[in-house]
Amino acid sequence: MKSEDLSKFDELVVLRLKELLLSRHGLRAGDGKDDVLEAASRFDAADLNELVFALRRIEKGIYGQCVICRHDIPVNVLKSNLTARLCPSCETVMHEKTDPSR
Ligand SMILES: [Zn+2]
């Protein structure tokens, strides 16, 4: 992923974290990224952890890479699900494996 795309997603993920923390934990709207991360670390919630994980991946420059096959996850997939870790084809394989009806 290009660095300008990474910084765009960095903003989106921080914004999403902020929304969650604002509604739940009374974070102030003017708080910066460090405050947001600090607040997120105090609450051990799965959705917050997922977003913090996404931020770490952005910092490492590997955000948007499938954790299984390392192919790029399409940007439109990431936009609708900021914490996506799998590309659509691995997602399908995982889903089939974990689907109890099969
Ligand atoms: Zn994949």
Quote the CA–CA distance of 49 and 20 in Å, as a whole number.
12
**pLDDT tens, position by position, 62-82:** 999 999 999 999 999 999 999
Residue 89 has pLDDT above 70, yes or no: yes
- Tens of pLDDT, residue by residue over 19-37, are 888 877 777 777 888 888 8
* Percent of the chain surpassing pLDDT 90: 60
pTM of the entire predicted model? 0.79
Question: Please, what's the largest Cα pairwise distance for the chain?
Answer: 49
Question: How many angstroms does the Cα of residue 13 sit away from the middle of ligand 1?
Answer: 21
CA 100 to chain centre: 27
In this model, does residue 101 exceed pLDDT 70? no
Distance of CA 102 to the CA centre of its chain: 29
User: 93: CA distance to ligand 1 center in Å?
Assistant: 9
What the block records as the tokens of 100 is 């109890």
Residue ranges of domains in the chain: 3-98
Cβ < 5 A residues, ion ligand 1? 66, 68-69, 87, 90
From the CA of 83, how far away is ligand 1's center (Å)?
Answer: 14
CATH of the domain spanning 3-98: 1.20.120
